[in-house]
Amino acid sequence: MAEFSIQGSTDPFLAAELAQGETVVAEGGAMAAMDHTIVLTGKAKGGVLKSLARAATTGESFFMQHATAQDGPGRILFAPGHPGEVRVVELNDDSWSLTDGAFLCAEDSLEIATKRNKSMSGSFFGGTGGFFIMNVSGTGKLVVSALGAIQEMAIPKDGELIVDSGHVVGWPSTAEMTASLSTGQGGGILGKMVGSVKTGEGVVLRFKGTGKILVASRAQPAFIGWISSRIPKSS
């Protein structure tokens, strides 16, 4: 199995140590540097139809980078396309759902696919990828990245974990997700919209079940808005 390690504390690299014959799969354009023993190719992971569906519905690349230690063992560095933390998740015959842009790299043994979002509310305004979300399943190592730092938040026993939709990175199959316009429990749709405006929280995702949710310290929409507000406007 490939050995993954995080290199650096601020905007880190992901280092993958591969034995001869081993392959890892990464988001398109993620390779930063590699040994000469590694061969890098672009392939449609899971076939053309699955890759088309993934690219069209989740915003991920159609072609993924396949790095194979062909001429002996080797080391490769991957870098995400945005600043922030990188985290390795161990899968043991289970699956994880990821928000748009969270996938960085995975062992080739894992299945990468798109699945229909079971939450209708999440599909319409959940900020998780709409009607389809990326799903990674099987046994092996998955690597995710996010804007800012990543924090693990456990779902309370017999309760809910509520997370702003822009801060969610990924969640295990043991968690059930629904979306709402505010953290309030009542008041109807209009009341929730008013409450959302007052608190500035926007759409929140509610998780029930068991497991830990990966939460990012930076929300992409807010980060983009902050950058846009500082770009001089043309006269």
Q: Tell me the CATH number at 10.
A: 3.60.160.10
pLDDT in tens, 199-232: 445 688 899 999 999 999 998 878 888 888 888 8
Q: Is residue 81 part of a domain?
A: yes
Q: Is residue 66 part of a domain?
A: yes
Helix H or strand E segment including 50: helix 48-58
Q: Is residue 234 part of a domain?
A: no
CA 212 to CA 198: how far, in whole Å?
29
Helix H or strand E segment including 180: strand 175-180
* pLDDT band at residue 117 under the 50/70/90 scheme: low
Where is mean pLDDT largest: 38-52, 138-152, 200-214? 138-152
DSSP 8-state assignment for residue 108: T
Q: Give the domain extent around 94.
A: 3-229
pTM of the entire predicted model: 0.80
Q: Is residue 235 part of a domain?
A: no
Q: Is residue 117 part of a domain?
A: yes
pLDDT in tens, 48-98: 444 444 444 444 455 789 999 999 999 999 999 889 999 999 999 999 999
pLDDT for the residue 221: 77
- Percentage, residues of the chain above pLDDT 90: 55
CA 204 to CA 160: how far, in whole Å?
12
pLDDT for the residue 201: 52
**Number of domains making up the chain:** 1
CA 64 to CA 60: how far, in whole Å?
9
Map tokens 């280092």 to a residue. 15
Of the candidates 157, 164, 161, 168, the residue with the CA atom closest to the CA atom of residue 207: 161
